[in-house]
Amino acid sequence: MKNKNLNSQMIKIGSGLLAGVLLPGAAFACACGCGVFDVATSSLFPEKSGGTAFVNYDFQNQNENWSGTASAPGANNDDKQLETQTFTPGVRYLFNRSWGAQIEIPVVSRTFDSSANAGAISWTSLGDIRLCGIYTGFADDLSSGLSFGVKLPTGSYNHTDALGDIDRDSQIGTGSSDLLLGAFHRGDIAGSMNWNWFAQAQLDLPVLKQGDYRPGLEADAAAGIYYEGLSLGRVNISPVAQIIGVWRGRDNGAAAAPDDSGYQRVLIAPGVEFNLQPVKIYADVAIPVYENVTGNQLIAPALFKVSVSYMF
């Protein structure tokens, strides 16, 4: 049971952290941080052989200009809003107690508003697909594991609109092929029957670029605790508390805005999981408590996540 709870908690953190690979570009940037939702997703933390199908929904509305560690006048940034909704269906399958694989296929709906354009631009597109292998052979209870894979350049990175231009870092896809590396561990809190802890880290390293734009390297990490002693009828309820850290390097290339990209952030993310085996429902909200951005970038006051998974 604890492996299962941890599984969904990881949902929230990630597959939380919102990937900062899609930020606005030309003149200014928007600290998207969409990678946050890709850390600690439940699909990356199997509990036994077999499969899990899942759908994640992530939402953020970046509408506040930020510079350094403080809010800055909106007049300093041509970009005014970047609202993103991401629906990510996926499947994870563990072939045995050591090896598994996972695929995530995001569909992204985005609204981009800039004072340089004639109005807000809205469009929907396939995002960048992620393919990962999973190794959990370190311990019999699958409490430690590694993930490794690639992010494919399947998302549109050259969408155009009659209302105006869309900066390269505001596009849905990055156009880059990235290497993905991750690790996780979970365990009991000593002396407790119901309290557990977990930690995870993920690295997103762009290796191939298109259109003279390379998104910055991103490193995400999360740690938290959860309680699994509550129930309502046949529904097991697990409150979760976690802290998330994100480091994003500057974008580079002729189509990038290196002076207005790159950031560090820390978020706290309370959440809850409802376990109705074989179905799990997870929800959380991540609140930034520290932001340090390069130049002027748009930030979101909160990041929301809901995940539904089915084990088979």
CATH number reported for the structural domain that contains residue 29 in this entry: 2.40.128.130
Q: How far apart are CA 73 and CA 26, in angstroms?
A: 19
Mean pLDDT (whole number) for 91-101: 93
pLDDT of residue 41: 42
CA 116, 117, 119, 124 dihedral sign is negative
**pLDDT, tens only, 23-73:** 223 334 454 445 555 554 444 466 778 999 999 999 999 999 999 999 999
**Which residue type does 153 have?**
P
Mean pLDDT (whole number) for 262-273: 94
CA angle 308, 202, 11 (to 5 degrees): 15
Mean pLDDT (whole number) for 149-165: 96
Q: What is the mean pLDDT of the chain?
A: 86
Higher pLDDT, 19 or 231: 231
pLDDT of residue 187: 86
1, pLDDT greater than 90: no
Nearest alpha-carbon partner for 80 in 117, 115, 31: 115
Mean pLDDT (whole number) for 216-233: 92
Higher pLDDT, 80 or 192: 80
Percent of the chain topping pLDDT 90: 75
CA 83, 210, 28, 250 dihedral sign is positive
Domain with 231, as residue range(s), is: 2-311
Count of domains forming the chain: 1
For 10, the token pair is: 């990881």
pLDDT of residue 271: 92
122, pLDDT greater than 90: yes
Task: Quote the pTM value.
Answer: 0.86
- What is the Rg, in whole angstroms, of the alpha carbon atoms belonging to the chain? 19
Mean pLDDT (whole number) for 175-195: 90
For 55, the token pair is: 């759908």
141, pLDDT greater than 90: no
249, pLDDT greater than 50: yes
Percent of the chain topping pLDDT 70: 85
For 217, the token pair is: 């390297």
Mean pLDDT (whole number) for 2-29: 34
pLDDT of residue 49: 86
pLDDT of residue 42: 43
φ, ψ for residue 171, nearest 5 deg? -70, 160
pLDDT of residue 43: 40
pLDDT of residue 45: 62
pLDDT of residue 34: 52
Q: With bands split at pLDDT 50, 70 and 90, how would you rate the model's confidence at 163?
A: very high
